[in-house]
Amino acid sequence: MILYFEIAHYQTFSSVDRCCHFPLKSRVQFLREFLATPAVIGAVAPSSEELARTMVAGLDLRNARAVLEYGPGTGIVTDYIRRQIAPQTKLAAIEIHPRMAALFKQRHPDVPLFQDSAANARMICDYACMDFVDCVVSGLPWSTFSEPLQVKVLDETMRVLKPGGSFVTFAYIHGLALPTGKRFAGLLQKYFPVVSKSPVIWRNVPPALVYRCRR
């Protein structure tokens, strides 16, 4: 029911005006959305090219059959995913925020986007005819999430990620010392047998590192 409503809502995105200077407009809008809902957006600026590159580095995207992105925001990381996947690879994205979803659809009008929570990933994959996915690429602001939401999204991730599949996500370094950030790092160790961290990307705003996990 919820999904039906949100898919209907999603279909309206194609009417968004595309005649704009996208990068500047999206940066300004990103900041505006952060100021309005800081806990949902979780960052003052879109991810840098370096962070996006680091997110996809090491993923076997060329051989992936299906890829799922959580919280794509303006779609910068999606650019890097799309450069590597094969034409037949299924790619879908889940973005909860209506205006971020609209920005995403300006940049990636042909990528199926579900305006919904990543906490509904299994239901969304069923709807998108994706039984299991090879990679989940997450831009979610985990350190702003409650424990039940962190657990729920990770549970759903395990329901969609195939054995041996990859999960990548980033963390802003100021969030690593927060109880929520520490709890998320602990949960990753609990859910995934293999977890590694990239060096800090200092030129991202704010600086961030990437967690790479293998199921």
Ligand X SMILES: C[S@@+](CC[C@H](N)C(=O)[O-])C[C@H]1O[C@@H](n2cnc3c(N)ncnc32)[C@H](O)[C@@H]1O
Judged by the rule CB under 6 A, the positions of this chain that interact with ligand X are 40-43, 46-47, 70-71, 73-74, 76-77, 94-97, 100, 117-119, 139-141
Smallest distance, Å, CB 102 to ligand X? 11
Of 36 and 194, CB closest to ligand X: 36
Q: Which is nearer to ligand X, 70 or 184 (CB)?
A: 70
Residue 29 buriedness (CB in 10 A; 0-12 / 13-18 / 19+): middle
Q: Show the tokens assigned to 154.
A: 């990770």
- To ligand X, the closest distance from the beta carbon of 96 in angstroms equals 4
Strands 133-138 vs 161-172: parallel, antiparallel or unpaired: parallel
Closest to ligand X by CB, 56 or 66: 56
Tell me the closest approach of the beta carbon of residue 214 to ligand X, in angstroms. 22
Q: Which is nearer to ligand X, 54 or 193 (CB)?
A: 54
> In the bound complex, what is the minimum distance in angstroms from residue 88's beta carbon to ligand X?
25
> Is-cis flag, bond preceding 206, omega within 30?
yes
Long-range contacts of 45-49 (CB under 8 A, 24+ apart): 45/205, 46/73, 46/74, 46/76, 47/73, 47/76, 47/77, 47/139, 47/170, 47/204, 47/208, 48/76, 48/201, 48/203, 48/204, 48/205, 49/76
Q: By C-beta, is 77 or 81 nearer to ligand X?
A: 77
CB of residue 51 vs ligand X: minimum separation in angstroms? 8
